[in-house]
Chains A and B, each alone.
Chain A
Amino acid sequence: MTDQELIDQLKNGNEGCLQHLYQHLGKVKGWISQNSGNDDDALDVFQEAIIVFYKNVMAGKYELRSKISTYLFEVSKRQWLNQLNRRKKYEKQSDGVVVVDWGQEDDEIEFTYKGPSLKKYLMEALEKLGEPCKSLLETTIFLGMRMEDIAEKFDYSGPRSASQQKLRCLKKLRSGISYEVIIGLK
């Protein structure tokens, strides 16, 4: 499968072909093992890189300038260096909590925080919300897909009606959430 074909497949909703990217994992493993990491670290970092790549493709932000394998390798490297830096900070901090900055790019990793989970709360709220709202919000907010693509994927008449639908879903989701509860969750 060529790089362009892979991208087309992903855009067509065939997420499963991300599987093919794992053939490039070996290179990352090699590099990480030389930089104080093991195979598990490599797999973690590589998965993060795949997510960055996938989100960019879905949001229409990915441009095929270099090979996907090179891109993944570069992102993995950057991820790993970030992690090493954070580990150093982590060792210094006594509470050990690393807060992820909101609004930063996808290359931020949420790790080490354990506690009452915002994630789980939202998972349940979305479950309750049901389809198509759940998928619609996930694809727009998490994957950052464009309204044109959303309209096509969900069979809406156009980007306008897709964003209207998104807003309605947000409103519905919001109506089941209380300020006091959600604000305390991390």
Chain B
Amino acid sequence: MEEDLRHIDLIDKYLSNALTKSEKEMVEKRIAEDTSFAKELKVYKQIYKGIEQQGDTVLKERLTSYYNSYKEENKSKTNKGYYRRLVVFGSGIAACVLIGLLLFFYYRNDGQNPIFKDVNPIIVDIDTVQSNSKDTIENPIDEERLVQEEKPQQTKTENQVDEELVNQEGLKDKSRDTVQLDNINNDTQLALGGFTPLPPESVRTIEYPLPLRYTFDGDKLTLFGDPLLSKLQLELIKNKEEEYVLFYKNKYFSIDKTAGIKPLEELRTDSSFGNSLLKIKPKLNPSKEKLDIVLEDITRFSGKSKNLKVNYDSESSLGTYFFNETENTLELIINSNLDSEIAKVYEVKEKNRHRYFLVEGTMIYELDVHAKEPKPLEQVEITKNKMARLFMEKASFETTVYTEK
């Protein structure tokens, strides 16, 4: 029997009950008359049955592991919860006492002048992760000066703009007396209230993908801009002039040896190699030469997020999160203790949508920006969530260099 796709399509629809009544009758008539068709159908029936059976078995295995982790989690919740809360609560009280004492000594003289000669008291180091003095409790004069100093500058780097924004917000916040969750400067108060802001440096924005750039030292080609490229998408060619050319998405790009980072430039049509390549794809042979291709981590090119703020509740073990959207800020509340040294929240800006990820070491969670009610933090499955692979270790592989015949 001729194995064409249309006939498989018919069988497929028959087996998945997707035929109309008349089509079904037609197929059944054919089964009765055409023995080779009937035979073929039997084979596919077996194939479908086998796939169902093996799918069932594999899913059951996974379910068993989900069940085990469910049991494990529930055990640890009941056992550890109490002690964990005790420790967290205890350290909260200890922090209160410590900060209270410091404030007492600080304002003891006449309420204004510190008895320490040091203008930058220790509080700053304790309650903010930022090294510059932005603490509102400490001294507002310093802050105003900082802002004024930055304003007259003509050219500002992105970082400076960020800092300025932070400072201006700090000034605004001072006029409000209530404890606000998005108030990133009142760390002390927030820590006592249960919520701690994630340092703004740890809330990052990435655009994905970025235009591809590269650096090449003769042995190793490093590509920047899209760590999710697959090995199959890239082909490295060496032309007769011993120059390297990268074939990617049906286009040829010239690769020069360079110490810096260069944008990937399409091969010019007037180059001798380009001509021959662009008109007819030359016959290529794998050579013995092999080169390493490294897909560089894109998080290196992330910037501080302008509108996203993250607060977490270090005393909570709920493991949930939600977003709170106001006019021009987006606030993320995480009801879980984060390791502020390593935890980062990324906003990945794709062409059509923005996605949010919480990355804590090797744990990656995707966050649903539409979650207005607390939603559990779910670790992503790397095999299913392609974008989450951005936050894994950078990929590198060896590739064969092809030469023109």
Q: A19-B66, A174-B43 are in contact. Are A126 and B51 (CB under 8 A)?
A: yes
Alpha-carbon distance A47/B53, docked complex (angstroms): 15
- Identity of the chain A residue whose Cβ is nearest the Cβ of B63 in the assembled complex: A47
In B28-51, the 8 Å CB interface with A consists of 39, 42-51
Assess whether B9 is in contact with A126, with CB atoms less than 8 Å apart: no
Assess whether A171 is in contact with B3, with CB atoms less than 8 Å apart: yes
With both chains docked as a complex, state the minimum distance between the C-beta of B1 and any C-beta of chain A, in angstroms. 10
Assess whether B385 is in contact with A13, with CB atoms less than 8 Å apart: yes
Partner of A122, one of B8, B45, B53, B71: B53
> Which interface class (under 10, 10 to 19, 20 to 34, 35 or more) fits B?
35 or more
In B292-341, the 8 Å CB interface with A consists of none
* Overall SS of chain A's interface: helix
Please tell me if B381 contacts chain A, counting CB pairs below 8 Å: yes
Alpha-carbon distance A18/B65, docked complex (angstroms): 11
Please tell me if B226 contacts chain A, counting CB pairs below 8 Å: no
Please tell me if A39 contacts chain B, counting CB pairs below 8 Å: no
With both chains docked as a complex, state the minimum distance between the C-beta of A128 and any C-beta of chain B, in angstroms. 13
Assess whether B51 is in contact with A138, with CB atoms less than 8 Å apart: yes
Assess whether A170 is in contact with B12, with CB atoms less than 8 Å apart: yes
Partner of B52, one of A142, A168, A174, A179: A142
With both chains docked as a complex, state the minimum distance between the C-beta of B233 and any C-beta of chain A, in angstroms. 13
**Complex contacts, B64 vs chain A, CB 8 Å:** 47
With both chains docked as a complex, state the minimum distance between the C-beta of A8 and any C-beta of chain B, in angstroms. 8
Assess whether B381 is in contact with A102, with CB atoms less than 8 Å apart: no
- The interface stretch among B145-153, B188-196, B371-379 is B371-379
Partner of A123, one of B43, B54, B378, B380: B54
Assess whether B47 is in contact with A173, with CB atoms less than 8 Å apart: yes
- Identity of the chain B residue whose Cβ is nearest the Cβ of A22 in the assembled complex: B70
Partner of A22, one of B49, B67, B371: B67
Please tell me if A81 contacts chain B, counting CB pairs below 8 Å: no
Alpha-carbon distance A170/B42, docked complex (angstroms): 14
With both chains docked as a complex, state the minimum distance between the C-beta of A32 and any C-beta of chain B, in angstroms. 16
Assess whether A19 is in contact with B47, with CB atoms less than 8 Å apart: no
Q: List 24 A-B contacts (CB under 8 A).
A: A1-B375, A13-B385, A14-B384, A15-B381, A15-B384, A16-B66, A17-B376, A19-B66, A19-B69, A20-B376, A22-B67, A51-B56, A51-B60, A118-B50, A118-B53, A122-B51, A122-B53, A125-B50, A126-B54, A144-B16, A167-B9, A170-B12, A174-B43, A177-B43
**Complex contacts, B43 vs chain A, CB 8 Å:** 174, 177, 179, 182-183
Assess whether B66 is in contact with A18, with CB atoms less than 8 Å apart: yes
Q: A13-B381, A51-B60 are in contact. Are A102 and B50 (CB under 8 A)?
A: no
Interface string of B376-400 (1 = CB under 8 A from A): 1011110011000000000000000
Assess whether A14 is in contact with B46, with CB atoms less than 8 Å apart: no
Alpha-carbon distance A103/B14, docked complex (angstroms): 11
Alpha-carbon distance A121/B59, docked complex (angstroms): 17
**Complex contacts, B47 vs chain A, CB 8 Å:** 122, 170, 173-174, 177, 182
Assess whether A16 is in contact with B379, with CB atoms less than 8 Å apart: yes
**Chain A residues in contact with chain B, CB under 8 A?**
1-2, 5, 8-9, 13-20, 22-23, 43, 47, 50-51, 54, 102-103, 110, 118-123, 125-126, 137-138, 141-144, 163-164, 166-168, 170-171, 173-175, 177, 179, 182-183, 185
With both chains docked as a complex, state the minimum distance between the C-beta of B318 and any C-beta of chain A, in angstroms. 12
Assess whether B384 is in contact with A168, with CB atoms less than 8 Å apart: no
- Identity of the chain A residue whose Cβ is nearest the Cβ of B60 in the assembled complex: A47
Partner of A170, one of B8, B53, B376, B385: B8
Alpha-carbon distance A13/B50, docked complex (angstroms): 23
List 5 tightest A-B contacts by C-beta distance, closest first.
A142-B55, A122-B50, A119-B53, A19-B66, A13-B384
Please tell me if B174 contacts chain A, counting CB pairs below 8 Å: no
Assess whether B376 is in contact with A1, with CB atoms less than 8 Å apart: yes
With both chains docked as a complex, state the minimum distance between the C-beta of B52 and any C-beta of chain A, in angstroms. 5
Assess whether A142 is in contact with B12, with CB atoms less than 8 Å apart: no
In B47-96, the 8 Å CB interface with A consists of 47-57, 59-60, 62-64, 66-67, 69-71
Please tell me if B5 contacts chain A, counting CB pairs below 8 Å: yes
Alpha-carbon distance A54/B66, docked complex (angstroms): 14
Alpha-carbon distance A20/B69, docked complex (angstroms): 10
**Complex contacts, A23 vs chain B, CB 8 Å:** 70
Q: A15-B62, A19-B70, A174-B44 are in contact. Are A118 and B3 (CB under 8 A)?
A: no
Alpha-carbon distance A147/B378, docked complex (angstroms): 26
**Complex contacts, A123 vs chain B, CB 8 Å:** 50, 54
Assess whether B50 is in contact with A185, with CB atoms less than 8 Å apart: yes
Assess whether B46 is in contact with A171, with CB atoms less than 8 Å apart: no
**Complex contacts, B373 vs chain A, CB 8 Å:** 2
Assess whether B53 is in contact with A185, with CB atoms less than 8 Å apart: no
With both chains docked as a complex, state the minimum distance between the C-beta of A47 and any C-beta of chain B, in angstroms. 5
- Among A17, A164, A175, A179, max chain B CB count under 10 A is at A179
With both chains docked as a complex, state the minimum distance between the C-beta of B380 and any C-beta of chain A, in angstroms. 7
**Complex contacts, A2 vs chain B, CB 8 Å:** 373
